[in-house]
Amino acid sequence: MSYKYLILGMLSENPMSGYDIKKVVKQALGGITSASYGTLYPTLHKLLEEGCVSMQEIPQRTRPSKKVYHITDRGREELREWLKQPASTDQVRREFLLKLYLAHNLEPKDVQIMLAMRRAETEQTVREVLADKARQTGEKSWLADYTLAMCEAELNWLTDFESRYKPL
The footprint of its own copies (CB under 8 A) covers 1, 5-6, 9, 12-13, 28-29, 32-33, 76, 79-80, 83-84, 86-106, 110, 114, 117-118, 121, 142-143, 145-146, 149-150, 152-154, 156-157, 160-161, 164
Q: Looking at beta carbons only, is 93 or 104 nearer to DNA?
A: 93
CA 54, CA 69: separation in Å to the nearest integer? 6
Contacted entry of DNA, its own copies, none for residue 44, CB cut-off 5 to 8 Å set by kind? DNA
CA 22, CA 40: separation in Å to the nearest integer? 8
Contacted entry of its own copies, DNA, none for residue 152, CB cut-off 5 to 8 Å set by kind? its own copies
Write the CA distances from 119 to 123, 128, 154, integer angstroms. Answer: 6, 14, 9
Q: Is the dihedral of CA 110, 115, 116, 121 positive or negative?
A: positive
Contacted entry of DNA, its own copies, none for residue 112, CB cut-off 5 to 8 Å set by kind? none
Q: Least CB distance from residue 22 to its own copies, whole Å?
A: 16
For DNA, the binding residues in 32-91 under the rule CB under 7 A are 34-39, 41-42, 44-45, 60, 62-67
CA 123, CA 145: separation in Å to the nearest integer? 14
Contacted entry of DNA, its own copies, none for residue 7, CB cut-off 5 to 8 Å set by kind? none
**C-beta neighbour count of 115 within 10 angstroms:** 18
Give bridge partners of residue 66 from the DSSP assignment.
58
Contacted entry of DNA, its own copies, none for residue 157, CB cut-off 5 to 8 Å set by kind? its own copies
User: What are residue 101's phi and psi, to 5 degrees?
Assistant: -60, -35
The rounded Cα 87 to chain-centroid distance in angstroms is: 15
Q: Which of 12, 15, 20, 132 is close enough to bind DNA by CB under 7 A?
A: 20
Told to check if 19 binds DNA by CB under 7 A, we report yes
